[in-house]
Structure 1
Amino acid sequence: MKLFEIDQKIASCVKLDENRMVDTETGEIIDSEALAALEMERDQKIENIACWYKNLLSDAEQLKKQKEIFAEREKAAKNKAESLKSFLTEYLQGKKFETTKVKLSYRKSEAVEFDKERLKDVPIDFLKYKEPELDKTAVKKAIKSGQEVAGCTLVERLSLQIK
């Protein structure tokens, strides 16, 4: 679905190769030189590029929704499969089963189980700790209030807003 009609001159500034429409590894799709060299009125060029940007964001949002729908379907299918596997495990009670279409057998495995309530009793040699993470919000607030935070600086940037 397209929200806006984009001038064909602008739309033709997409780099193509013989195999792909978009270089998915680098994300480079725009031929900036061709775009800058277009002979058209400045305001029209800016408007068309901004509208194209809005179209692409709309496409990305729709793709994200589809991805979420597929993820839900994937999760449901996996859960259903696990439920069937659990049923078969209980039903067969460790006995093998084989036909021309399927073969069910068991393999021994080992797993460590522990009581989370007693984690404090486990020797320190057997515990893992996460690396510390920087709380950027707290650091920003501290710097703005005049406090110095070692290794951190507040950088002001320009961020283009397209609406």
Structure 2
Amino acid sequence: MATLYEIDAEIMACIDMETGEIIDAGKLEELEMEREAKIEGVALWYKNLLSDAEAYKAEKNSFAEKEKAAKNRAESLKRYLEDALGGDKFRTAKVSINYKRSESVQCENLGAVPKDYLVMAPSLDKTAVKQALKEGIEVPGCELLEKQNMQIK
């Protein structure tokens, strides 16, 4: 099957360029029908591709919802295990549960925090506050909390 470019070239060959006279009317009519069919085919292909893209988007959104639901269920189970173990370690041949110490910054009064520790007003730069607190610098309204994070392997 010919391309639109090739069909257009053949149509032009059916017309005398100097006089504008049609050289082969039968072939010209046949080429014009072929051109219409080609344009229709390309337009339908375009519509199908857009339809496919919408279907992929819907499927992606469906998987994102399933992913979010699975992560939420996993976090719920993790909290359940934390409550059940109460900080105790657990180990079998198939699973190991232990705890890793971490630190986080808690700020009760953002208005009391010096501007040096704020980014894009008024948002707390927790990294800078954490570093300052670790160095023994007092940051009003903030404290360093130590946590035990459960790890399941």
Same fold (TM over 0.5): yes
Q: How does 1:70-149 map to 2 (within 5 A)?
A: 70-115=63-108, 118-129=109-120
Q: TM-score, normalised on structure 2?
A: 0.56
| Corresponding letter in the other structure for 1:47 | E
Q: Which residue of 1 aligns with 2:144?
A: none
Segments of 5+ residues of structure 1 without an aligned counterpart are 1-8, 10-33, 131-163
Contact 2:90 2:97 in 1 (8 A): yes
Using CA pairs below 8 Å that are at least 6 residues apart, which structure has the higher relative contact order?
2
Query: Deviations along 1:87-140, whole A, 9 cap, x unmatched?
Result: 11111111110000101000100111223xx3232221112229xxxxxxxxxx
| Corresponding letter in the other structure for 1:42 | R
| Corresponding letter in the other structure for 1:67 | K
Q: TM-score, normalised on structure 1?
A: 0.52
| Corresponding letter in the other structure for 1:106 | Y
The share of aligned pairs that are identical, in percent, is: 52
Structure 1 residue 76: deviation in Å? 0.7
Contact 2:4 2:38 in 1 (8 A): no
Higher relative strand content: 2
Report the secondary structure of 1:75's partner residue: helix
Report the secondary structure of 1:110's partner residue: strand
Segments of 5+ residues of structure 2 without an aligned counterpart are 8-30, 122-153
**Cα–Cα, structure 1 residues 36 and 129, in superposed 2: closer, same or farther, change >3 Å?**
farther
| Corresponding letter in the other structure for 2:61 | E
| Corresponding letter in the other structure for 2:119 | K
Q: How does 1:37-56 map to 2 (within 5 A)?
A: 37-39=5-7, 41-56=34-49
Structure 1 residue 36: deviation in Å? 4.7
**2:88 and 2:81 mapped to 1: Cα distance?**
10
**1:108 and 1:35 mapped to 2: Cα distance?**
67
How large is the Cα RMSD of the aligned pairs?
2.2
Q: How does 1:22-41 map to 2 (within 5 A)?
A: 35-39=3-7, 41=34
| Corresponding letter in the other structure for 1:119 | L
| Corresponding letter in the other structure for 2:120 | Y
